[in-house]
Amino acid sequence: MNKVIRVDMSQLTVSVEPVPTRWAGLGGRGLTSTIVAEEVPPGCHPLGPNNKLVFAPGLLSGTPAAQSGRLSAGAKSPLTGTIKESNAGGTAAQQLARLGIKALIVEGLPAGDTWYRLHVTQQGVSIESAAELTGKQNFAVIDKMIDTYGPKIGVMSIGVPGELRMCAANISVKDPDQKIRSHGRGGLGAVMGAKRIKCITIDDAGAGKVPIANPDKFREAAKIFAKSLLDHPVSGEGLPTYGTNILINILNEAGGLPTKNFRYGQCAHHEKICGETMHDTIVARGGKHKHGCHAGCIIQCSQVYVDKAGGYITSGFEYETIWGLGANAMIEDLDDIAICDHLMDDIGIDSIEGAVLLSAAMEAGIIAWGDGKECQRVLREEIGKGTPLGRILGNGTASVGKVYGLVRVPVVKNQGIPAYDPRAVKGIGVTYATSTMGADHTAGYTIATNILKVGGYVDPLKKDGQVDLSRNLQIATAAVDSTGMCVFIAFPALDIPESFTALIDLINAAYDLSLTADDVTELGKNILKLEHDFNIAAGFGPADDRLPEFFSYEAIPPHNAVWDFSDEELDAFWDF
C-alpha cells in the first residue's frame, strides 16, 4: 500500500500522494484516527466542509492471513461529536489494499445539489454523477453497480437515511456474496451523505497481490494463527455454530441481558430468540448457519437466515441486533427481527443504534412494546423515507430521547448502549463510559473476561479490577483494529500465547519489521491517547465519561445491581 488518495468534493478533484513516512507503520483505525486528528479541526461541524471521511485497510488487509479483511472508516462523528472509527467486513478492504491504497480521504463539500459517486480503479479515482442512484436504498444501489461493473465490483454505499444525513446512517459494504456488511456505528453514512457521495465502487482488476516481505515466515505464522482460531472454543466452536447470537442465553443466565429498554437483566422469551433456536431454525429451513463477512474468514460467525420457504431474509444477523429488537424491544418472533435486520441493511442504518432507538420509541409510546410488524413499517416507511418521525428516529436513540423528553435514554456520548447491561457486567460499563467512541462494546470487550472467562476472570458484579480490565482491552483493541483483523481474534489471542505471537509475526513478516508485544501495546496506547486528545479539543471532558444517570438509581433485577463507580474511579482509566 504505497499511496494515499485524496478526493476534494469542494473542487471535485482527485490527487494521489505518496504515503508520508509517519503514516507508513499505521493501518486501519490507527491510520484513520491519525489522519482525522491531524487534519480535522476538533471543533468543526461533522456535516460541514471541514470534516473528512477516511477509509483505510488494516496493516494485514489483502494478505492471505485469516480474518484480515476489515476496513476502517473514520471521521468526526455527527452522532457523538467525537472522533470515530467504525470497521466493517466485505470486499472493500482487500480490494483497496490490492490497489495499493493506504488511505482514501474524502474532503470538502460540493456546491449545489448534485449527487456523486466515486469509482476506484488501478487508474485512480473518478468522480461520476450519481443522479440515477439517489433515493435508492442499498441493495438497489449494489444491484445497479453490479449491472454496471459486474459482480466482482466492491461497493460502499448509503441509503436514503445517509442521503438525509441522519446520525444513525451507516456505510454499507458489499460482501463476497452480495450481502451487506456495515461501518455501523457513529453515523458515518451521514458524513458521506453530507459530502453528497451516494456510493464508492472499487474495481481491483489488474491489481497484483499485496506484497509480503518474507513469504515463508508469513505462511508459517499464518498457519499457527489460523490453528489457534480453530482451537479456541469461542472462535472455533461457539461462534461458527451459533453465530454471535450464542450470547443471548449466556447473558440472560448472567442477568445482564438488558430487557424492555434496560428495565430487567433477563428476558422471559429468551429461548425464542437465542442462538440455539436460530441455528436450528436455519438448519431446518435450509439456510446457511456459517458464513464469512470477507474472503479469508475461518470463523464464519455470520449466516444466511431464511424464511419458511427457504427464501433469503438476512445475513450478518448479530447478537446485538437480536438482543436489541428481541429482548430490549420485546419482539418475540425471530422472523420479525430478521426482517428488521434486513431492512436496516437496506435503508442503511446501524442495526445496534436502530434496535436501541426502536426500544426508545417504545419507551416514548410511539410503537407498542414488542410490535415487530410496526417496527418494520417504521423502518421502511418512516426512517427509510425520511418523514419527520423517521428523521427523529433515524437520528438515533439520543434524538428520540431529546425530542420526546425521555429520561431513561441509554446512550453515552449520544451513542446507544449495546447489548450488555453495565450494572450487571460492570467492566463493559467502564468501556461504555470511557471509550473514545461513545458507548461501544467492541472498544474493550470485557464480556470476554467478565462472562466468557477468556483471558482470566473478573467478577462482573464487583467493581474490583474492571477499570484495569477495560483499559487493557481498549489498548489491545485499538492495536488489533489497526491490523485489519476481526475483533474475534482476541479470544485465542487472550488465551493462547502462540496466537498473539503469530499475529505479531504476521506483521513483521509482511513488512520486514521486528515489532515486539510491547510495541503493539504502545501502538494501542498511542491511538487511544490521540483519539482522547481529539475529543478533549472537541469539548469532551471527564464529565462526559459517565453513564446515564438512571443507571445509578434504577437497580436491575435479578441482581438488583446499580451503577456505582465514582468519578475518580472512572477518571483513573486515563492514567497510563
Site residues (vs a second copy, CB under 8 A): 41-45, 47-50, 78, 164-167, 190, 193-194, 387-389, 391-392, 395, 399, 402-407, 409, 536-541, 543-544, 546, 548-550, 553
In a 3-state reduction of DSSP, which class is residue 281? Answer: helix
Which residue stretches of 74-209 are H helix? 92-98, 138-149, 160-163, 188-194
Shortest distance in whole angstroms from residue 406 CB to a second copy: 8
Shortest distance in whole angstroms from residue 382 CB to a second copy: 9
> Which segments of 135-273 are extended strands (E)?
154-157, 171-174, 180-183, 197-202
Shortest distance in whole angstroms from residue 51 CB to a second copy: 10
Separation in Å, CA 135 to CA 180, 216, 233, 342:
18, 49, 45, 18
> Which of residues 239 and 406 has its CB atom nearest to a second copy in the complex?
406
Does residue 558 have a cis peptide bond before it, meaning omega lies within 30 degrees of 0?
Answer: yes
Shortest distance in whole angstroms from residue 544 CB to a second copy: 5
Q: Kindly give, in sequence order, each residue whose CB lies less than 8 Å from that of residue 449, ignoring residues fewer than 6 positions away.
A: 427, 455, 456, 457, 458, 469, 473, 494
> Which of residues 214 and 552 has its CB atom nearest to a second copy in the complex?
552
> Which of residues 146 and 403 has its CB atom nearest to a second copy in the complex?
403
Cell numbers at 192, concatenated: 458521506
Cell numbers at 377, concatenated: 413499517
Shortest distance in whole angstroms from residue 337 CB to a second copy: 25
> Which of residues 141 and 164 has its CB atom nearest to a second copy in the complex?
164
> Which of residues 309 and 407 has its CB atom nearest to a second copy in the complex?
407
CA distance 85 to 55: 9
Phi and psi angles of residue 53, each rounded to the nearest 5 degrees, phi first: -110, 120
> Which of residues 149 and 574 has its CB atom nearest to a second copy in the complex?
574
Shortest distance in whole angstroms from residue 169 CB to a second copy: 9
CA distance 81 to 413: 8
Shortest distance in whole angstroms from residue 525 CB to a second copy: 24
CA distance 167 to 183: 13
> Which of residues 485 and 538 has its CB atom nearest to a second copy in the complex?
538
Identify whether the C-beta of residue 397 lies closer than 8 Å to the C-beta of residue 357: yes
Identify whether the C-beta of residue 394 lies closer than 8 Å to the C-beta of residue 356: no
Shortest distance in whole angstroms from residue 191 CB to a second copy: 10
> Which of residues 215 and 539 has its CB atom nearest to a second copy in the complex?
539
